[in-house]
Amino acid sequence: MKPEVADIVRLPALRAAPLLLGCYLTRVTPAGTIKVKVVETEAYHQDDPASHSFRGQTARTAPMFQAGGRLYVYFTYGMHYCFNIVTGPKGVGEGVLIRAAEPVYGVEIMKTNRGIRDINNLTNGPGKLAQAMGIKDTGLSGKILNKSSILLERGETVNKDDIVASPRVGIRQAADQPWRFYIKDNRFVSKVR
DNA sequence: CCGGTGATGCCCT
DNA sequence: GGGCATCACCGGT
């Protein structure tokens, strides 16, 4: 059995990232409740040149420097939102990008949010997942999990043999570090190019 | 199936 | 002004 969520988010991102696999994320929206199981994560830390927190705290990245248990939401490529679960102690800029998840409840709402019908393409990437969960601005950035419209639960314990570590996706700096984690053979893991 | 590419706006230099 | 923790579409195979 893995640790409770409250203990996972206190850990450094690199340790928290594999433990967040199998956790449930729930979002309550006006249209209904959405629930997903995390299947792919990436760790980011202030000592890592690929991390938004690498060049110190700014207005945008301030949530990453808070104590674990908050959200960090950012906007990228002019059209996509992605979100992290902030981990570690206050004063250290780190967090875990949630890259993909498996739909559990609210599939119809997610399909509407994404504007598509194909369940295999709903939540298998960080921008797609944010869109499916109805995140269309950075308003949730800095909010405390379980005290906002997003809840994090411990969920399932994933067998160690079913966790794969690999290089992170879509970065230039430190691209060789195996700080991406995913559940082996899960069909909702993102496609790597 | 596969690789190439355009979209589009904010952040930080 | 450069670059980006991405995605969808297009054409060739």
Inside any domain, residue A91 = yes
pLDDT of residue A1: 86
A77 CB below 7 A from strand B atoms: yes
The whole domain housing A10 covers 5-183
Inside any domain, residue A77 = yes
Residue pair A70/A16 in contact by the 8 Å Cβ criterion: no
pLDDT band at A131 (very low <50, low <70, confident <90, very high): very high
Inside any domain, residue A123 = yes
- Count up the domains in chain A and report the number: 1
Each residue's pLDDT tens digit, A108-124: 999 999 999 999 999 99
For residues A60 and A180, what is the distance between their CA atoms, to the nearest angstrom? Answer: 23
A110-119 long-range contacts (CB < 8 A, ≥24 apart) are A110/A34, A112/A31
- CATH code for the domain of A119: 3.10.300.10
For residues A18 and A102, what is the distance between their CA atoms, to the nearest angstrom? Answer: 16
| Whole-number distance in Å between A39 CA and C7 C1' | 19
Inside any domain, residue A93 = yes
Inside any domain, residue A14 = yes
pLDDT of residue A193: 81
| Whole-number distance in Å between A191 CA and B1 C1' | 13
A58 CB below 7 A from strand B atoms: yes
- The pTM of this model reads 0.97
Inside any domain, residue A188 = no
For residues A123 and A118, what is the distance between their CA atoms, to the nearest angstrom? Answer: 10
- A window 28-57: Cβ near strand C (< 7 A): 42, 44, 50-53
Each residue's pLDDT tens digit, A58-86: 999 999 999 999 999 999 999 999 999 99
CA–chain centroid gap for A163, Å, is: 16
Strand B: which nucleotides have any atom within 7 A of a protein Cβ? 3, 7-13
- A window 95-114: Cβ near strand C (< 7 A): 95, 97, 99, 114
